[in-house]
Structure 1
Amino acid sequence: MSNNQPLQHDTIVLTGTSITGQAQSQIEALGGEALHLPLIEVADVQSNDDGLFLQRSQQVDWLIFTSQNAVHAFIRKMEQYEQDASLWIEQRIAVVGEKTAEALEMAGFSIHFVPTTYSADTMVKEFNRFLQPETTCLFMRGSMAKDTIPNGLKCRVETWTIYETRPTKKSIPELKEQIQHKNCTVVFASPSAVRVYAEEILPLHDWDQIQVAAIGHVTEKALIALGAWDIIQPKTYTMQQVIEEIARRKES
């Protein structure tokens, strides 16, 4: 195996809603095969109150985004109502994750707070230092999001469920085939994807048939609860870092 291609002969399966060109290129540069087999999918939540929520988002002190999915759904709402980022120039924005921040910046927004660790728990702890009881926040959330942020922040937090997460089984047959015939590392980025895997694949294929990787401690806990072990987990919760951690594991 080439020293600069530690993933040679390995297949890295990404189970999230999408795969970026950057992630695919990174895996291939390390000698691996990148395979996107989603176990979850997302869809915008449509509501008659969308216009009111957009208006409210221009009035609160802070907007909170914890995923790229929330950003993309928000931008689609803006486009639907023919609005642009200049209308939010007075609002400060807090995000979890560098990719979430990049997606907002590409749409013309400025970012004012990012936690040191990309998790809701860390965000609550660090973000509270910037807040007063009278501070108003609007949290753009998914349907499966926990209440860590609205319950943990010491201010007035309103929530807008802007997209929904739901399981998808369309990739299950191919994922089973890959596990049987390839040397696979399966990357999980959410507890939702872990649950689908456990329901559809775990009864037939034990955890020891794959290398498991997780992005985020909540996802890692979901895997451990279902019996997974020897989980690759980077300190920084990004796809780039988990791929680098997988490569380091292969080199050792």
Structure 2
Amino acid sequence: MSESSPLQNEHVIFTGVNRSEEAAALTASLGGVPILAPFIATKEIIQTDDKDKLLNSNAFKWFIFTSQASVAAFHQKILRNNLEIEYFQVKIAAVGSRTASALEQLGFSIDFMPSVFSADVFIREFPQVAAPEESCLFFRGNLAKKTIVDGLVNPVDEWTVYETVTLEDNVEKVKEMLNSGKNCSVVFTSPSTVNAFHQTIGKDLGYHGFTVCAIGHVTKNHLKSLGITAQVMPRTYTLTEVVYALAQWKG
């Protein structure tokens, strides 16, 4: 293994929602073999009162987004109901640089982003910029925890804009790879990806035949709750940073 190719012959399996192209290219540049095999996908939840909710959302002081999936679902609702971004005169809070970037691409400005990209840090730092009486609309997925709703003193309404589903074809693809005897690392991006992997592969195969990588302490702690140790976790919670951390660990 050379210093320029610390991931030589390492098959790096990305199990999160398929937004891993940049991390895949980085993996290849470091000598590894990227495997894009998301275990989960997100699907917008469409409801008959979506337009009314959009039109009434200006009553809130803040919009809160914690994932790119929530941004994408929100955008689909805007397009379907023929509204413009300029209609929404609110402040924007985003958890994570990718979430913030997705919002900025739509034309929003980011008014707050926590120093660490996780909901538990968000609820500690948000009071620094938002008065307790300022109301919030939290755009969430169907599997989102109550961390933000229960953790903020602000009045928070939830809008479940997308759902998470398991991709069975990729489950079989990853199972074959892990049983092939090749050097493998599996990247978990959220408790949802951990659960999908654990139920379909992990609880039968175990976790000793590959390197376990986690993005974020929430994901790492969820793995720990299942008795699984994450060998690699980056300080900055992004896919590219987990590749750099894995390369350092392997090197």
The TM-score range, normalised by the shorter chain, is over 0.9
The worse-fitting range, judged by mean Cα deviation, of 112-121 and 47-56 is 47-56
Moved more, 20-29 or 96-105: 20-29
Q: Partner of 1:13 in structure 2? A: 13
Matched ranges for 1:1-252 at <5 A = 1-88=1-88, 90-181=89-180, 182-251=182-251
What secondary structure does 1:43 align onto? strand
- What is the alpha-carbon distance in structure 2 between the residues aligned to residue 11 and residue 47 of structure 1? 41
Native 8 Å contact 1:220 1:231 kept in 2: no
Alignment-mate amino acid for residue 244 of structure 1: Y
1:96 partner amino acid = V
The change in CA–CA distance for 1:152 and 1:230 in structure 2 (over 3 A counts) is closer
Q: How far off its partner does 1:246 sit?
A: 0.4
Q: Aligned-pair distance for 1:168?
A: 2.8
- 8 Å contact from structure 2 (residues 63, 137) kept in 1: yes
C-alpha RMSD of matched pairs (Å): 1.3
How far residue 96 of structure 1 moved from its aligned partner, in angstroms, is: 0.2
- CA deviation after TM superposition for structure 1 residue 203, in Å: 3.9
Q: Which whole-Å CA distance do the structure 2 matches of 1:203 and 1:108 have between them?
A: 44
* Cα 1:156–1:234 shift into 2, 3 Å: same
Q: How many Å separate the matches in 1 of 2:230 and 2:77?
A: 41
One-letter code of the match for 1:151? Answer: D
SS at match of 1:208: coil
Equivalent-residue separation in structure 1 for 2:140 and 2:108 (angstroms): 18
Alpha carbons 2:7, 2:30 under 8 Å: kept? yes
Per the alignment, in what secondary structure is the counterpart of residue 205 of structure 2?
coil
Unpaired stretches in structure 1, ≥5 consecutive residues: none
Stretches of 4+ aligned residues off by more than 6 angstroms: none
The question of whether the paired residues in 1 share the 8 Å contact of 2:112 and 2:129 is answered with no
Q: Is the 8 A contact 1:167 1:192 kept in 2?
A: no
Provide structure 2 residue ranges, at least 5 long, that are not aligned to the other structure.
none
Contact 1:132 1:154 in 2 (8 A): no
Deviations 1:81-108 (A, max 9, x none): 11221112x3110000000000011111
SS in 1 for 2:173: helix
Aligned-pair distance for 1:233? 0.9
CA distance in 1 between counterparts of 2:169 and 2:134 reads 44
Q: Contact 1:64/1:93 (CA < 8 Å) preserved in 2?
A: yes
Identity %: 38
Contact kept? 1:62, 1:94, Cα under 8 Å:
yes
SS in 2 for 1:155: coil
Q: CA deviation at 1:116?
A: 0.2
Relative to structure 1, the CA distance from residue 159 to residue 230 in structure 2 (aligned partners, 3 Å threshold; closer, same or farther) is closer
How big is each residue's C-alpha offset from its partner over 1:99-135, in whole Å with a ceiling of 9 and x where there is no partner?
A: 0000011111100100000000000000022222321
User: Does the residue aligned with 1:82 lie in a helix, a strand or coil?
Assistant: coil
Alpha-carbon shift at residue 231 of structure 1 (Å): 2.5
How far apart, CA to CA, are the structure 2 residues paired with 1:23 and 1:230? 19
Give the Cα separation in 2 of the matches to 1:186 and 1:123.
Answer: 27
CA distance in 2, matches of 1:76, 1:202: 34
